[in-house]
Chain A
Amino acid sequence: MTAVSPPAPLLDVRDLEVSVGDTPVVRSVSFQLAPGERLGIVGESGSGKTLTALSVIGLHRAPVRVSGGQVLLSGTDLLTMRRREIDKVRGARISMIYQDPSTSLDPLITIGAQIAEAIRLHEPVSRAQARNRAAELLGDVGVPTPRERLGAYPHEFSGGMRQRVMIAIALACQPEVLLCDEPTTALDVTTQARVLDLLDRLCREHGVASVLITHDLAVASGFCDKIAVMYAGQMVEQAAAADFFERPAHPYSAALLSASVDLAADISQPLPTIAGQPPVAGSLPAGCAFRSRCPYADEACATGEIELRSVGGPGSGGTQARCIRPFTASTNRGQHAARLTQGVIDG
């Protein structure tokens, strides 16, 4: 029996390269998303996660520009579209929610009107119909007394509420893909949990595929099917979520996991961190970008392009890592934890 070839992915990003001026800040980023699937993109600040998402939906601004690659949404390359064409796609088939809800809503327009705008841009409904839909959506995202709240302005809402409004706007036309750029970073912890639950429920109900960008591995673990790790503008690992959290392949991923704060850990011990700093775009070392911070690097790591390759045999479930010596299924990671991270010296 021949294996059935997997269906074409809903979102297929191939070798995306994003530059500022002549300096590439995101390089050879590739990932795929099946309908309803959830990808988590994790990494430090400055690793290029946000720029990647913005470039996929075309919301990046000068001087950032896309210098290479393809973004295929159901086969059509979004990067080659003219503004008028992509306006039809944005909001209707692919949407985004942003990090900072307090500045992402127009302060002069009522939130009812802003939600209705999202609807009327793509569907030929009357004002009254759009208003009703907006009230429904507000209710769906958990805003109490939604009909009365339609006439309120963004500044009258709390941060968590504003993010719910953003979600309502993003999902108003039931897009196929939702990009979420650190949607809960600006919120307090309890609100974070609630907003994530909301996202989880709505995406499941409407079959929305999503890309969740976050620096918080705990958030990613609860939400995502697949994890992609970004470092210095490149993807250094991609794996199914379960595989990633149990058996990270790239030393950086392993270090990240070790460095995640464990509330049950011994507080007399210093917090684990990864020594060093990520390289600045434009002054990348040859070979692996992580080698200056990797305890296992050697001369072989310093030459040539390191490709993203599948990691070893069966049971590794499609994990890919950009490393010539990745951890495999059989590696005992516990031994390596201490080497990968070191405690902070003082305060």
Chain B
Amino acid sequence: MVRYVIRRIAISIVLLIAVSMLIFIVLRALPGSPVTARLGTSQGVTQEMINRLTKSAGLDRPLASQYLTWISGILHGNLGTSYFTGQPVGSLIGAAIGPTLELTIIGVALSVVIAVPAAIASARRPGGWLDGIITAVSSAGMAFPPFVAGIVLIIVFSVQAHLLPARGYVPFLTNPVQNLRDMILPAISLAVGAAPLVLRYLRNELVTSLDSNYTRTAAGKGASETRVLLRHALPNAALPSLTMIGLITGYTLGGSVIVEYAFGFSGLGALSIQSAFNRDYAILQSVVLLISTLFILVSLAVDLMSWRLDPRTRGRHG
């Protein structure tokens, strides 16, 4: 069924293109704004200066041509130059992508590591006291926007306890220990909101699994409770839950934007905030497109993986 794979990839590509258009159109909806936003209120700005800057930034060309320049630039590795600083956008993004990727990966991994055992503990005795506590804590966690969780964590662990750093980021290769210490609080902030999403879904799937006939058959063979849970219930529950990984990646990518700002990470999120502030469209459009691309790619990967792992969908076997 390679047809499914091709179809799925094609859909993702179309989606990407549509997203790029959406970003572009929204940014260009009000003509000339980057220039006026940058210069508009300063003294001594003449219409002629505005016109000159507009022309040099290519903002006076028709929309379609500007869009195509951008897209073809992406395909050739040239993302244009910043309106503000004149630096090439590509190098800015390249410098910023590391912290974001690391934070996202650690955040998602941490969420899964927290969610799976908790979901198992919950599902073994649904309605029991442990289930109740876990569900309640889970709901509370979902109410924490990541950066609010970050602030609370900073207060507790940095301000009061002086245990962990509140700001700063050091690349992994430069100083792995410090890098990981810097990662702890931001990753937890993200996991506080993301883990409950996986937990809730996985728990429900586990309860269904544990209640189904094939787990009864396994027990009827003499399989222990642990074996029934880990060998039969969990894989069947994890398969549909895989899509949640895609979802929390989106959640984490979005959450990391503000979390990076709060923890002083110079990642893509901080870059996008800064460029939004400066109305620096050249950077903003590419950064947002990049992050959306990451989200779409992860969703695609997750979909293809669950398609591949389920013997019922991947077609004839053996």
Residues of A within 8 A of B (CB): 57, 59, 61, 83-84, 87-92, 95-96, 98, 100, 103-109, 117-118, 121-122, 148, 151-153, 155-156, 166, 169-170
Q: How far is the CA of A95 from the CA of B216 in the complex (A)?
A: 12
Q: Which residues of B sit under 8 angstroms from A105, Cβ to Cβ?
A: 214, 217
- Please judge, given known A-B contacts A107-B236, A108-B310, whether A98 and B223 are in contact too, CB under 8 Å: no
Asked, given contacts A92-B222, A106-B236, whether A169 binds B217 with beta carbons under 8 Å apart, the answer is yes
Among residues of B, the one whose C-beta sits closest to the C-beta of A86 is B222
Chain B 217-236 interface mask (CB, 8 Å, partner A; 1/0): 11111111100000110011
Q: Which of B214, B220, B239 is A103 in contact with, Cβ under 8 Å?
A: B214
Cα–Cα distance between A109 and B222 once the two chains are bound (Å): 17
> Given the known A-B contacts A98-B213, A103-B214, A155-B311, are A90 and B235 also in contact in the complex, defined by CB atoms under 8 Å?
no
Interface centre among A61, A83, A108, A155 (most CB of B within 10 A): A108
Q: Is the CB of A87 within 8 A of B216?
A: no
A103 touches B222 (CB 8 A): no
CB–CB B219/A103 < 8 A? no
Are the CB atoms of B318 and A151 closer together than 8 Å? yes
Say whether B317 faces chain A, with CB atoms less than 8 Å apart.
yes
Sample (22) of A-B pairs whose CB atoms are under 8 Å apart: A57-B220, A59-B216, A59-B219, A83-B225, A87-B219, A90-B220, A91-B221, A98-B216, A105-B214, A106-B217, A106-B236, A108-B310, A108-B311, A121-B222, A121-B223, A122-B222, A152-B317, A152-B318, A153-B312, A166-B217, A169-B221, A170-B220
A40→B212 CA distance, assembly (Å): 26
How many B residues touch A, CB cutoff 8 Å?
25
Chain A contacts of B222 at CB under 8 A?
A: 87-92, 118, 121-122
Task: Give the distance in Å from the alpha carbon of A98 to the alpha carbon of B318 in the complex.
Answer: 27
B212 neighbours in A (Cβ, 8 Å): 103
A83 touches B224 (CB 8 A): yes
Residues A100 and B213 in contact, CB atoms below 8 Å apart: yes
Q: Is B211 an interface residue (CB 8 A)?
A: yes
A84, B317: Cβ atoms closer than 8 Å: no
Closest to A61 in B: B211
**Top 8 nearest A-B pairs by Cβ distance?**
A91-B222, A151-B318, A103-B213, A91-B221, A90-B222, A153-B311, A104-B213, A106-B214
Instruction: Please classify the interface of chain B as helix (H, G, I), strand (E, B), loop, or mixed, using the class held by over half of its residues.
Output: helix
Chain A residues with CB under 8 A of B211: 61
Asked, given contacts A57-B220, A61-B211, A83-B225, whether A107 binds B318 with beta carbons under 8 Å apart, the answer is no
Alpha-carbon gap, A153 to B231, bound state (A): 16
Return chain B residues, CB-CB under 8 Å to A92: 222
Q: Please, which residues of chain B bring their CB within 8 A of the CB of A155? A: 311-312
Please state if A104 and B216 are interface contacts (CB–CB under 8 Å).
yes
Chain B contacts for A118, CB-based, 8 A = 221-222
Docked pose: A184 CA to B312 CA in angstroms = 25
Residue of A nearest to B312 (CB): A155
A116 to B: closest C-beta gap in Å? 11
Given contacts A106-B218, A153-B312, 11 further A-B contacts (CB under 8 A): A59-B219, A91-B220, A95-B220, A95-B221, A103-B212, A108-B239, A108-B310, A117-B221, A117-B231, A153-B317, A166-B217
B122 to chain A, nearest CB (A): 15
Complex Cα gap A98–B311 (Å): 23
Residue of B nearest to A149 (CB): B318
Which residue of the partner chain, among B219, B224, B235, contacts A108 with CB atoms under 8 Å? B235
Q: What is the bound-complex CA distance between A121 and B221, given in angstroms? A: 8
The CA-CA distance from A59 to B213 in the complex, in Å, is: 10
User: What's the nearest-Cβ distance from chain B to residue A50, in Å?
Assistant: 12
In contact, A104 and B318 (Cβ under 8 angstroms): no
Contacts of B236 in A (CB 8 A): 106-108
Residue in chain A with minimal CB distance to B233 = A106
Contacts of B213 in A (CB 8 A): 98, 100, 103-104
Closest to A87 in B: B222
Is A87 a contact of B317 with CB atoms below 8 Å?
no
Contact residues in B for A98 (Cβ distance below 8 Å):
213, 216-217
Q: How far is the CB of B166 from chain A (nearest CB, A)?
A: 45
- Are the C-beta atoms of B220 and A59 separated by less than 8 Å? yes
